[in-house]
Amino acid sequence: MKYRFTTSILSLAFFTFLFSSSVLKAAVFITPKAPAINVDSYILIDFDSQKVIASKNPDKAHAPASLTKVMTAYVVFQLIKDGRVSLNDDVLISEKAWKTMGSKSFVEVGKTIKLETLLQGLIIQSGNDAAVALAEHIAGTEGTFTAYMNEYARELGMNNTIFENASGLDTKNQQTSARDMSILASSVIRDFPEYYKWYSQKTFTYNDIKQNNRNKLLWSDKTVDGLKTGYTDKAKYNLVASAKRLNDMRLISVVLGSSSPDARANETQQLLDYGFRFFETIKIDNIVKSVPLLKGEKDSLKVGTTESSTITLPRGQFKLSRQSIELNKNLSAPIKKGDRVGDLVIDHEGDKIATFPLIALEDIAQSGFFSRSIDSLKSFF
């Protein structure tokens, strides 16, 4: 059981003023619908809050094409982190890797190449040969490597994804979804920032052959810094993109089944512009508040949030939200620093949009018998 009281914006670090009711009533905020784009499915999310800003068929199964390589790279990153492989590993190129059809890094059979070079070829040039070479180096066979891919997909919550190879070439059952690819992209950005930089690299040269990154937004939008394109006859044109703009707000867009390279870039640009123009990410941190306390040496307790969190709302709407504290019923001493004593709740337009745990920021011992008896009577009445 909990009881609630509402504060005036809780003295949040980022709100030092109050809005009068007349100002609130006069404010007009319009959030249009997301742009109508001609793709099989898409999703637009805020990276920090994981809020879905817009979507169309986000869980529909779709052939991933070279978006598969985002998971191929993720597996390699994980194994580097675990110390099982190294960027400096020498990777022997097999005949199978050399013969792999589709986009290439132009590796040569029988030669050894540094693992770091193959990773860059995989990410920037979308080399299918690089994907197979990495898979064989790590797992012995590409088939065994896909077991790693599928296991990480399950761990990340990619519930509509099945991988059957490391390159993304079409198979009968290989599939993903827009939502799943947004989860994977978020994981790469969050877990491996030291390698994410490669997704923004525009060109890469190997074997005296210079190739451009196929993500056209890297040239047309300086805020875009990743991630990956994909194309097969079955998948059509796919693109996972991420951009960071105002106040370090980062959005991730996934477009599946577009009609052409230009169309997928234009459609992604529309989604990113929509998200940044009409939504904002609010950081919730540094909240400290005194709340009533029974049976303690002090009659109030300092509480706060445990860690920084974020929420995403239509731009300008946070000032119309309500922040309230829900305390555990009959909160009383003794209290230890770190005890969870309630929640910070944020409501917007009648909906609860976020709940953050509140913890005690100090130790408070019990008061004497007489004081505790009086507080017991107060609690009873």
Between CA 176 and CA 77 the distance in angstroms is 20
- b/e 175-199 (16+ beta carbons within 10 angstroms → b): bbbbbbbbbbbbbbbeebeebbebb
How far is residue 164 from each of residues 77, 221, 255, 333, measured CA to CA in Å? 19, 34, 21, 58
Dihedral, CA atoms, 258, 261, 263, 266, nearest 10 degrees?
120
**Identity (one letter) of the amino acid at 45?**
I
Of 314, 315, 311, which Cα lies nearest the Cα of 352?
311
Q: Which residues are catalytic?
A: 66, 69, 126
DSSP 268: H
| Residue of 278, 271, 277, 280 lying closest to 217 (CA atoms) | 271
Residues 184 and 150: their CA atoms lie apart, in Å, by: 12
3-state DSSP call for residue 28? Answer: coil
302-332 in b/e form (b: 16+ CB < 10 A) is: ebbbeeebbbbbbeebbeebebebbbeeebb
DSSP designation for 263 = H
